[in-house]
């Protein structure tokens, strides 16, 4: 009995500490949500609390002033393009590294592993000058190619570790039926790989949606900027208008929050499975 009592006290103290840290993680987000529906006038008297009147007009006002329809479209274009291109090349490479094992493919694997840990500061200047030379600055396709290269090593390894567990017998049977390597890839490997395609797609989307450094460097023309850098500019333009700033931030967070609620496990397992800087 004494043991049980000691245990229950221990559990209560566990909960208290965990709740404190959960509040530290979540309360700042609650303040952001409150601010996004708070009238600008109220900020002087009520900095942290919930708003006395709910004002959804902040969103429509921010949407118009920030021209977010266009900005969202820019970001979506970058996300869709990067996810498509990155998945296409990574699926092929992951398949080859998992099931075909061409001679010397270890070199590619090592190269990609080293590639993950190269700091962007090493190559960003020559890349910038190269992009300027071949007229890819201020284009979405230029940024999509960069995002593909940045995320491909991670996606390739994720896909490889998934495909390696697909049973070899399936491929051997298909081979005996006369399938060539491309058919093995499209007809056997791809249909079985949708879970890893979904996970990798979500992680790439998140990385592209949130990316700041390359978006800042490679897109300087206002009309082409994605959410992250527009929000940064918006914070300067409307420096003291916290209602508009917060409403804009919520618009950028909302898609992430919704997808996270739907696919928590995929996000968590995908993000913790390899070196992807968040």
Partner 1 sequence: MKIFSNKNFVAWYFVFPVAFIHLFVIGIPSLASLALCLTDWRGLGEINYIGFENFIELFDDRYLKKAIINNVIWTIAFLTVPVGIALTCAYLLTGIKRGQMFFRLAFFFPYMLASVINCQIWKYLFHPIHGLGGFFERIGWDFLAVSPFTMKSTSLFAVAFVDGWHFWGFLVVIYLTGMYQVDNHLYEAADIEGATKFQKFRYITLPMIRPVFVFSIMIIIIWSVPVFDYVYILTGGGPAYSSEVIANYMYSQAFERFDVGYSSAIGTLMFFYVMIIVALFGLFRKAGWDI
Residue 54: CB minimum distance to partner 1, A: 19
- Contact between 212 and partner 1 per CB under 8 A: yes
Q: Which is nearer to partner 1, 5 or 277 (CB)?
A: 277
Q: Which residue has the tokens 């909302």?
A: 254
Residue 233, both tokens:
């500019």
Cα separation, 49 vs 38, whole angstroms: 10
Judged by CB under 8 A, which of 40, 70, 149, 170 binds partner 1? 149
- Contact between 170 and partner 1 per CB under 8 A: no
The secondary structure of 33-70 as a DSSP string is HHHHTS-GGGGGT-SSS--SS--THHHHHHHHHTTHHH
Judged by CB under 8 A, which of 61, 65, 145, 161 binds partner 1? 145
The helix (H) or strand (E) run that includes residue 208 is: helix 194-210
Judged by CB under 8 A, which of 68, 72, 224, 267 binds partner 1? 267
- Contact between 209 and partner 1 per CB under 8 A: yes
Stretch 245-264 residues interacting with partner 1 (CB under 8 A) = 245-246, 249, 252-253, 256-257, 260, 264
Q: Classify residue 206 by burial, with Cβ atoms within 10 Å: 0-12, 13-18, 19+.
A: buried
Identify whether the C-beta of residue 215 lies closer than 8 Å to the C-beta of residue 137.
no
Judged by CB under 8 A, which of 1, 53, 103, 191 binds partner 1? 103
Q: Which residue has the tokens 């990385």?
A: 207
Q: How many residues bind partner 1 (CB under 8 A)?
A: 100
Stretch 10-39 residues interacting with partner 1 (CB under 8 A) = 10-11, 14-15, 17-18, 21-22, 24-26, 28-29, 31-32, 35
Q: Which residue has the tokens 């996000």?
A: 267
User: Count of residues for the chain?
Assistant: 278
Q: Which is nearer to partner 1, 54 or 213 (CB)?
A: 213
Cα separation, 137 vs 217, whole angstroms: 9
Judged by CB under 8 A, which of 137, 163, 231, 244 binds partner 1? 231
């Amino acid at each position: 009995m004494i043991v049980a009592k000691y245990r229950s006290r221990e559990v209560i103290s566990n909960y208290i500490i965990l709740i404190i840290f959960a509040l530290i993680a979540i309360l700042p987000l609650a303040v952001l949500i409150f601010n996004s529906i708070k009238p600008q006038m109220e900020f002087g008297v009520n900095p942290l609390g919930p708003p006395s009147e709910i004002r959804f007009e902040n969103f429509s006002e921010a949407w118009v002033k920030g021209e977010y329809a266009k900005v969202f479209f820019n970001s979506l274009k970058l996300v869709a393009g990067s996810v498509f291109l990155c998945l296409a090349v990574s699926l092929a490479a992951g398949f080859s590294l998992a099931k075909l094992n061409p001679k010397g493919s270890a070199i590619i694997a090592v190269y990609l592993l080293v590639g993950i840990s190269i700091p962007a500061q090493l190559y960003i200047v020559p890349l910038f000058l190269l992009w300027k030379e071949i007229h890819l600055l201020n284009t979405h396709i230029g940024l999509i190619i960069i995002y593909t290269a940045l995320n491909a090593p991670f996606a390739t390894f994720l896909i490889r570790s998934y495909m390696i567990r697909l049973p070899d017998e399936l491929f051997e049977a298909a081979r005996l039926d006369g399938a060539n390597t491309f058919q093995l890839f499209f007809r056997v490997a791809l249909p079985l790989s949708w879970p890893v395609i979904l996970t990798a797609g979500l992680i790439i989307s998140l990385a592209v949606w949130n990316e700041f450094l390359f978006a800042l460097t490679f897109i300087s023309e206002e009309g082409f900027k994605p959410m992250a850098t527009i929000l940064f500019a918006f914070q300067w333009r409307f420096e003291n208008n916290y209602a508009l700033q917060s409403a804009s931030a919520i618009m950028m967070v909302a898609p992430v929050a919704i997808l996270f609620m739907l696919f928590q496990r995929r996000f968590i397992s995908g993000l913790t499975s390899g070196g992807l800087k968040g």
